[in-house]
Amino acid sequence: MLKLLQTAWTGWRDFTTAGKLPALLLALLLFVWFRSRKERETKTFLLYTTVTTALCILPFTAAFLMLYQTRFYDYEWIWSLVPMTAMIGFGGVLLIEDCSRMLRGKRAWVRGAFLAALCGILVICSGFGLGSSGFSDEAAQRAQAHDIYTYLEEAIPGRHYRIWAPKEILAYSRVGWADCDPLYGRNLWDRHLNAYTYDTYPEELEQLELWIDGDLERGDWTDERCAEYLAGTDVTCIVLPVRLEGAVGTFEEVLGITASPQGEYYIMIR
Residue 5 contacts by C-beta under 8 Å, 6 or more apart in sequence?
Answer: none
Which residue, 86 or 242, has its beta carbon nearer to other proteins?
86
Which residue, 60 or 128, has its beta carbon nearer to other proteins?
128
Work out whether 222 is an interface residue with other proteins (CB under 8 A): no
Residue 239 contacts by C-beta under 8 Å, 6 or more apart in sequence?
Answer: 148, 163, 164, 165, 166, 169, 265, 266, 267, 268
Q: How far is the CB of 211 from other proteins (least distance, A)?
A: 19
Work out whether 66 is an interface residue with other proteins (CB under 8 A): no
For residues 95 and 97, give the distance between their C-alpha atoms in angstroms, rounded to a whole number: 5
Question: Which among 4-12, 149-157, 167-175, 213-221 is the span making contact with other proteins, rule CB under 8 A?
Answer: 167-175
Please select the residue that binds other proteins; options are 31, 48, 114, 229, rule is CB under 8 A.
Answer: 48
Work out whether 151 is an interface residue with other proteins (CB under 8 A): no
Which residue, 42 or 222, has its beta carbon nearer to other proteins?
42
Say if residues 205 and 183 touch (Cβ distance below 8 Å): yes
The CB density around residue 32, as the number of other CB atoms within 10 Å, is 20
State whether residue 54 is helix, strand or coil. Answer: helix
Please select the residue that binds other proteins; options are 7, 10, 17, 258, rule is CB under 8 A.
Answer: 17
Please select the residue that binds other proteins; options are 54, 58, 190, 258, rule is CB under 8 A.
Answer: 190
Work out whether 18 is an interface residue with other proteins (CB under 8 A): yes
Say if residues 116 and 135 touch (Cβ distance below 8 Å): no
Please select the residue that binds other proteins; options are 59, 72, 117, 157, rule is CB under 8 A.
Answer: 72
For residues 100 and 108, give the distance between their C-alpha atoms in angstroms, rounded to a whole number: 10
